[in-house]
Amino acid sequence: MNVLIVGAGVVGVTTAWALVRRGHQVTVVDRLEGAALETSRGNAGQRSYGYVYPWAAPDMVGKALRGLFSRYGPFKITNPWSPRTLQFLAMSARCSLSHGLYNASHAALLELAEFSRHCFVALEEPPDASFDGQHEGLMEVADNQAACTALHQKARRLESLGIEHEWLNPDAVRQQEPGMQGPGAVAGGLLMPADGTGDCHRFTRMLAQACEARGVHFQYRTSITDWYLDDGHIRGAWLQRHPPDPGGGQSAPDVKDGDSPHYLETDQVVLCAGCMSRELARPLGLSLPIYPVKGYSLTSTIDDAAKAPRSTVVDHAYKAAITRLGERVRVTGFVELAGFQRHIPQRRLQVLREAFASRFPGAADLGHAEPWTGFRPMTPDGPPILGWGQQKNLLLNTGHGTFGWTLSAGCGEIIGQLLDGETPAIDLGAFSPGRFT
Ligand SMILES: Cc1cc2nc3c(=O)[nH]c(=O)nc-3n(C[C@H](O)[C@H](O)[C@H](O)COP(=O)(O)OP(=O)(O)OC[C@H]3O[C@@H](n4cnc5c(N)ncnc54)[C@H](O)[C@@H]3O)c2cc1C
């Protein structure tokens, strides 16, 4: 079957890999200069199979309000009055208050993540080293008793779902991460020993090359601008080429400056366009209330390996993730509702530097680190959108929010199963594309 995949982020490329291995003819179209240049570029690098959770937690409204008034609180709103922000906030609040939804979504996410863990094993050839990947575990560190209580609660939930985890006292936390000698308090930690890390950008580019070698056709600097619909099917799409981007490939291309649009016929479409899926789905009669939830990262080479993290730490005091990526370290944080505003304020980066210094002082000089900002394609409840769309030949694999890198391998495989008429490996109820209408 001829399949058109929209989007060459980690989700689109893992989907392309799953489909080409099943014998389909795959074309991937992306508006940017290459693979993984949007959200998949600078994320926290955690393949956090035991640490996936829905966005709309029952206590999210209170937490968000408290965070708004603190410099360190992760939750920020910088354009509260835009209709899109207000709609997203209202839908998220409704989901967070919907009885039983959080627990059901959490269980579904953990099941999907577990499936993804297995699918990743097959994907990690060529070896881990080419994308600075490893499986040394993910540790959440609590800095006070309240955070410990919350982690104990989480541990009980993991226990009931049979997910491998370990409770660590403060000494064991420091044994797990011997470089963690900073002044930040340590009250305890929860370790997911089988979780992994890796540079999502490098991985995606490596897999895109492997896809090309198997015959997948990539069209970069090309946007989908419109669809041709007939008799409940998508028959094809209008594509617009863009001129090369002098800004290095991440800025939004100017559609008007490209060649005239051309038409591409297709048997099947898979929408993997991350934060832009909402606009692309609207002419198809689908309402996808995906919001671009902004985050920031700083990446630096390591100066002193003995003082650096071995794997990845989620720090409860700053709500920051600190991840080892080979010879580099990355600090990531913030969930900010700012629309598609790409500005990187120094005050956000300063908080990330403080978070790092409180745990791993002397490991790297974050004064010269590479700053990045990206947008999590977030759904109001949190689980991604995975399954059949309105048209008979439309599949959706989008809205991956906080965990697209972790879930990508499993979701690509599930798209393959659906396309080939197989029963999907897991129940897809929590991920249904129609759940917001
Ligand atoms: C700060 C931060 C930290 C994160 N940390 C983690 C983590 O540790 N672990 C984890 O699992 N996840 C993490 N994530 C989330 C993860 O990065 C995303 O879920 C994932 O990258 C989404 O991948 P994607 O392929 O769906 O989207 P993207 O990577 O954004 O790809 C979508 C692609 O679609 C293309 N596109 C859009 N519109 C069109 C169009 N009209 N025509 C053609 N192409 C189009 C875009 O150019 C883009 O390349 C983090 C995210 C952020 C922001």
Residue pair 355/331 in contact by the 8 Å Cβ criterion? yes
pLDDT category of residue 71 using cuts at 50, 70 and 90: confident
Tokens of 240: 């617009």
What is the rounded average pLDDT for all residues in the chain? 93
Is residue 176 one of the residues assigned to a domain?
A: yes
Task: Report which protein residue has its CA nearest ligand 1's atom 12.
Answer: 403
pLDDT category of residue 107 using cuts at 50, 70 and 90: very high
Whether 148 and 215 map to the same domain: the answer is no
Whether 88 and 147 map to the same domain: the answer is yes
Say what angle helices 101-123 and 404-419 make with each other, to 10 degrees.
Answer: 80
Distance between CA atoms of residues 236 and 4, nearest Å? 9
Percent of the chain with pLDDT over 70: 95
What are 197-243's pLDDT values in tens digits?
A: 999 999 999 999 999 999 999 999 999 999 999 999 999 999 999 88
What are 120-173's pLDDT values in tens digits?
A: 988 876 556 689 999 999 999 999 999 999 999 999 989 998 899 999 999 999
Taking 70 as the threshold, does the pLDDT of residue 287 lie above it?
yes
Determine the residue of 29, 30, 39 to mutate for testing ligand 1's pocket, defined as the one with the most ligand atoms within 8 A of the Cβ atom.
39
- Evaluated on CA atoms 251, 433, 56, 186, the torsion sign reads negative
Q: Which of 361, 378, 395 lies at the terminal end of a domain, its last residue?
A: 378
Print the domain residue range for 393.
2-41+202-288+382-436
Pairing of strands 217-219, 25-29: parallel
> What's the 272 CA to ligand 1 centre distance in angstroms?
9
Whether 345 and 314 map to the same domain: the answer is yes
Whether 173 and 278 map to the same domain: the answer is no
CB-ligand 1 contact for 40 (6 Å cutoff)? yes
Task: Please tell me whether residue 308 adopts helix, strand or coil conformation.
Answer: coil
Query: Average pLDDT, stretch 36-62?
Result: 94
Residue with tokens 């080939």: 420
Is residue 110 one of the residues assigned to a domain?
A: no
pLDDT category of residue 261 using cuts at 50, 70 and 90: confident
- Count structural domains, the chain: 2
Whether 363 and 217 map to the same domain: the answer is no
Query: Average pLDDT, stretch 54-79?
Result: 83
DSSP code, position 55: S
> What's the 334 CA to ligand 1 centre distance in angstroms?
16
Taking 80 as the threshold, does the pLDDT of residue 15 lie above it?
yes
Whether 173 and 255 map to the same domain: the answer is no
Is residue 120 one of the residues assigned to a domain?
A: no
Q: Kindly give, in sequence order, each residue whose CB lies less than 8 Å from that of residue 417, ignoring residues fewer than 6 positions away.
A: 423, 424, 425
CB-ligand 1 contact for 402 (6 Å cutoff)? yes
pLDDT of residue 128: 63
pLDDT-wise least confident of 123-132, 335-344, 401-410: 123-132
> What's the 328 CA to ligand 1 centre distance in angstroms?
21
Distance between CA atoms of residues 225 and 240, nearest Å? 7
Amino acid at 76: K
pLDDT of residue 246: 63
CB-ligand 1 contact for 199 (6 Å cutoff)? no
Q: Which of 351, 378, 405 lies at the terminal end of a domain, its last residue?
A: 378
Distance between CA atoms of residues 329 and 42, nearest Å? 12
- Cα-atom radius of gyration of the chain, to the nearest Å? 21
Taking 60 as the threshold, does the pLDDT of residue 255 lie above it?
no
**Helix/strand/coil (H, E, C) string of 115-170?**
HHHHHHHHHCCCCHHHHCCECCCEEEEECCHHHHHHHHHHHHHHHHCCCCCEEECH
Atom of ligand 1 nearest to the CA of 398: 26
pLDDT of residue 249: 55
Distance between CA atoms of residues 177 and 356, nearest Å? 14
Determine the residue of 38, 131, 275, 337 to mutate for testing ligand 1's pocket, defined as the one with the most ligand atoms within 8 A of the Cβ atom.
38
Is residue 114 one of the residues assigned to a domain?
A: no
CB-ligand 1 contact for 46 (6 Å cutoff)? yes
Is residue 127 one of the residues assigned to a domain?
A: no
CB-ligand 1 contact for 377 (6 Å cutoff)? yes
Cis status, amide bond into 253, omega within 30 of 0: no
- Evaluated on CA atoms 285, 2, 260, 14, the torsion sign reads positive
- Evaluated on CA atoms 148, 153, 159, 162, the torsion sign reads negative
Q: Which of 378, 399, 416 lies at the terminal end of a domain, its last residue?
A: 378
